Amino acid sequence: MIKYLKFISIAFVIFFLGLHLLPVSHAAFYKYVDENGRIFYVDDLGKVPEAYRDQIKVFQEKYDDLSEQERSEAQKKERERIQQQEQLKQHRLTEQLEEARALEAEDRKRKAARARKRRLENMETRVIVEGNRILVPVTIVNKGIELNVNLVLDTGASQIVLHRDVAQKLSITALKKGTAQVAGGSNVYVERGQVNQFKVGPHNMEPATVLVMAYDGPPVSYGGLLGMNFLKNVPYTIDYQNQVIRWQSPDMASSDN
């Protein structure tokens, strides 16, 4: 009997210790964010929609020693506190995102302004105004030779005209010989040729037909005429005050033939 009582006592002690050694089980509540960015807190996993269960966060309760009413109020305050923290965090993240977007937008504006300025600069060619003449700087490339020369803008000339000394520097080969009528009605001897490349501002002709003619007058600051086989393809306006040509389009035909 004594052994039996001792056994019962030992069993009771073990059971009692076991109760105290069992891990304390706390209730929990769960957080999830829906597709619209709204934050929800629930105290039952079953209340979390299936679509959001892979992103839920679990928060352990710590008010099991309180009465039901006290625990409910404490849990409510805890959830409100956490929700406020989350909202504050979300607000800060939103502010940081908006600030980053604003900086990015400002950077895009600066880059766009610089690009626009470069485009405008490329679409302008500074010219020289000499009385009634407008001298336009051009670059001519032929047989590996590159030459910069000023030509008189002449809407009355059907072709680009180069003085013979310019043509000789570029090694232009005469493809056809004949006569052409110039201002005043007289006919002059000309040679028809081609250059590999003719560039004015943002425009480029490859190849370009030119007429070569002799010039026997006093020295001039230009090497020929910028004629209509170029000008007809490139809309432009002339700013006489600032002495620039503003080109309206950077595109032109690859050949005047």
Three-state DSSP at 28 gives: strand
- Mean pLDDT, all residues of the chain: 81
State CA 70 to chain mean position distance.
59
Q: Is the pTM above the cut of 0.75?
A: no
Burial code of 33-61, b = ≥16 C-beta within 10 A, e = fewer?
A: eeeeeeeebeeeeeebeeeeeeeeeebee
CATH number assigned to the domain with residue range 124-247, chosen from the 4 options 3.40.1390.40, 3.40.50.300, 3.40.109.10, 2.40.70.10: 2.40.70.10
CA atoms within 13 A on the CB side of 122: 13
* For residues 53-63, average pLDDT: 70
- What stretch(es) of the chain map to CATH 2.40.70.10? 124-247
Q: Kindly tell me if the per-residue pLDDT of 169 is higher than 80.
A: yes
Question: Which tens digit of pLDDT belongs to each residue from 197-218?
Answer: 999 988 999 999 999 999 888 8
Alpha-carbon gap, residue 180 to 199, rounded angstroms: 25
For residue 162, pLDDT over 80 is answered with yes
> Is residue 248 very low, low, confident or very high in pLDDT (cuts 50, 70, 90)?
confident
